[in-house]
Chain A
Amino acid sequence: MLKKTIQKIDRAFIVFEDWSLLLSVCIALTVAMANVLLRKLTNDVNLFWSDEVVRKTIYFSTYIGCLVAVRGRSLIRIDALPQLVPGLKKFLNMFAHAATLVFAGALVYLGGTMTIMMYKDEYAKTSSLQLPEWIFYAVLPTMGAMMFFRTLLVMVEDWKEGADS
Chain B
Amino acid sequence: MDSSYLIILFLLLGLLATTVPVFMALFFTGTVGLVFMIGIDAQIVIEVLYRSMDKFALVVVLFFILCGNIMTTGTIVHKLIKTANVLVGFLPGGLAMAGVLACGFFGAISGSTVATVVAIGGFMIPALIENGYDEKFSVGIMTTAPNLGIIIPPSIAMILYAMVSNDPIEALFLTGFIPGILIMIAMSIYAYFYCKKRNYKTLDRPTFKEIIAVFKESFWALCLPILIFGGIYSGLFTANEAAVVACFYAFFVEVFIHKDMKLQDIKKVIVASSVTSATLLIIVAGASVFGEYLTFEQIPNKIATAVISQISSPWVFLLAVNIMLLVVGMFMDIISATLILTPIFLPLLASFGIDTMHFGLLMTINLGIGYCTPPLGVSLYISGAAVDRNLVYVSKAVMPFLIIQIAILLLLTYWADLVMFLPRLVYG
Residues of A at under 8 Å CB distance from B? Answer: 18, 21-22, 24-26, 28-29, 32-33, 36, 40, 51, 54-56, 58-59, 61-66, 68-69, 72, 74-84, 92-93, 95-96, 99-100, 102-103, 106-107, 110-111, 113-114, 117, 136-137, 140
Partner of B332, one of A78, A81, A103, A107: A78
Q: Is the CB of B333 within 8 A of A76?
A: yes
Instruction: For A36, list chain B residues within 8 Å (CB).
Output: 237, 241, 244-245
Q: CA separation between A140 and B278, bound complex, in Å?
A: 14
Q: Is the CB of B19 within 8 A of A59?
A: no
Contacting A at CB under 8 A, from B52-91, are 53-56, 58-59, 62-63, 66
Q: Is the CB of A76 within 8 A of B283?
A: yes
The 6 closest A-B pairs by CB, nearest first: A65-B278, A75-B21, A59-B53, A32-B244, A21-B274, A99-B20
Contacting A at CB under 8 A, from B326-368, are 331-333, 335-336
Q: CA separation between A153 and B62, bound complex, in Å?
A: 28
Q: Is the CB of A75 within 8 A of B56?
A: no
Partner of B46, one of A25, A33, A83, A137: A137
Contacting A at CB under 8 A, from B208-250, are 236-237, 240-241, 244-245, 247-248
Interface of chain B: mostly helix, strand, loop or mixed: helix
Q: With A25-B273, A58-B59 given, is the CB distance from A78 to B331 under 8 Å?
A: yes
User: Besides the contacts A25-B273, A80-B376, what 7 more A-B pairs have beta carbons closer than 8 Å?
Assistant: A32-B240, A55-B54, A62-B282, A64-B274, A76-B21, A78-B16, A80-B17
Instruction: For A18, list chain B residues within 8 Å (CB).
Output: 267, 271
Q: With A80-B376, A114-B46 given, is the CB distance from A26 to B270 under 8 Å?
A: yes
Chain B nearest Cβ from A47, distance in angstroms: 13
Instruction: Please count the residue pairs between chain A and chain B whose beta carbons lie under 8 angstroms apart in the complex.
Output: 174
Q: Is the CB of B275 within 8 A of A65?
A: yes
Instruction: For B21, list chain A residues within 8 Å (CB).
Output: 75-77, 96, 99-100
Q: Is the CB of A55 within 8 A of B275?
A: no
B98 CB-CB contact with A under 8 Å: no
Chain B nearest Cβ from A19, distance in angstroms: 9
B200 CB-CB contact with A under 8 Å: no
Chain B nearest Cβ from A74, distance in angstroms: 6
Q: With A66-B279, A81-B18, A96-B20 given, is the CB distance from A21 to B270 under 8 Å?
A: yes
Chain A nearest Cβ from B378, distance in angstroms: 10
Query: Which of B23-31, B397-405, B417-425 participates in binding chain A?
Result: B23-31
Partner of B15, one of A24, A93, A99: A99
Instruction: For A63, list chain B residues within 8 Å (CB).
Output: 53, 278, 282
Q: Is the CB of A99 within 8 A of B56?
A: no
Contacting A at CB under 8 A, from B270-297, are 270-271, 273-275, 277-283, 285
Instruction: For B386, list chain A residues within 8 Å (CB).
Output: none
1/0 per residue, CB under 8 A from A, across B14-49: the answer is: 011111111110011001000000000011011101
Looking across the interface, which residue of chain B has its beta carbon closest to that of A28? Answer: B59
Chain A nearest Cβ from B217, distance in angstroms: 27
B375 CB-CB contact with A under 8 Å: yes
B5 CB-CB contact with A under 8 Å: no
Chain A nearest Cβ from B112, distance in angstroms: 13
Q: CA separation between A114 and B50, bound complex, in Å?
A: 11
Q: CA separation between A74 and B378, bound complex, in Å?
A: 13
